[in-house]
Amino acid sequence: MTETRRSHYNLPQFSLRFLPIWRRNFLVWRKLAVASVLGNIADPLITLVAFGYGLGSLLKTIDGVPYIQFLASGSICMSVMMAASFEALYSAFSRMHVQKTWEALLNAPLALDDVILAEMLWAGTKSLFSGTAILGVIFLLGIGLHPQSLVVLPLLFLIGMTFASLGLVVNALAKGYDFFTYYFTLVLTPMIFLSGVYYPASQLPGWLQSLASLLPLSAAVSLIRPLILGGWPTAPLANLLVLAAYCVGGFYVATILTRRRLLK
């Protein structure tokens, strides 16, 4: 193994040089901020209204919780997941491959690790904006008006970073935009149905429940739902560890794969 290839597996080197990159992405996003946020909340909002009131008129409660509240507390996690994934996939790929923004950044006194870290943190930040907007809508519906909801925001940022890290792994492997369809179809969509967003995961067969408990979205829902409903998670440490493992592990793998792709 050559020295260059061996260096691909080095631990990421962190520095404050990621801040200008994060700021650059923020300034670009700010020009279209309203349209971006509205676009990110449109789908979960439609789902919340259609299923919450439509299906909710037939399915009144789940475990004593009105269905629209049950759905709202899961939809916010789904929204953060999708917003972070879109940013870490389509937007990051555009900057890396199409617009050559990463190439320009690497001509400055910046390291590739700085760029990857900035992309992950920016995707997490952008997903937090979307999650905050949806949380505001939920409040307008009279849901989640509890002190525990204050704990939701930092958790949404962690959830966003987790799915951003996973998205950057796929981004490093992609040859084109079409590749992302497989990730959304084969990974994210099944995860939504297995993680208790629309119905309790306890309704799944036993082996599927075991699988679902290991998924990052399931851990996110288990943390956020009780807080939105005015309670506290039953196993917060275990769920936080699941999210942290995916976040840290995904970021490290994304760093390795991106180095192998861009640093020959």
pLDDT tens readout for residues 173-194: 999 999 999 999 999 999 999 9
Least trusted range by pLDDT, from 5-9, 207-211, 226-230: 5-9
Backbone phi, psi, residue 61, to 5°: -140, 160
Would you state the torsion angle of the CA atoms of residues 189, 201, 197, 252, taken in this order, to the nearest 10 degrees? Answer: -60
What share of the chain has pLDDT > 90, as a percent? 63
pLDDT reading at 2 higher than 70 = no
The kind and range of the H/E element at 61 are strand 61-62
Query: Which pLDDT does position 127 carry in this prediction?
Result: 94
CA distance 263 to 150: 42
Q: Which residues pair with 65 in a beta bridge?
A: 62
Complete DSSP assignment for 125-192: HHHHHHHHHHHHHHHHTT---SGGGGGHHHHHHHHHHHHHHHHHHHHHH-SSTTHHHHHIIIIIHHHH
Task: For 95-127, write each residue's pLDDT tens digit.
Answer: 999 999 999 999 988 899 999 999 999 999 999
The kind and range of the H/E element at 62 are strand 61-62
CA distance 33 to 31: 6
Task: For 39-88, write each residue's pLDDT tens digit.
Answer: 777 777 777 777 777 776 677 788 888 888 898 889 999 999 999 999 99
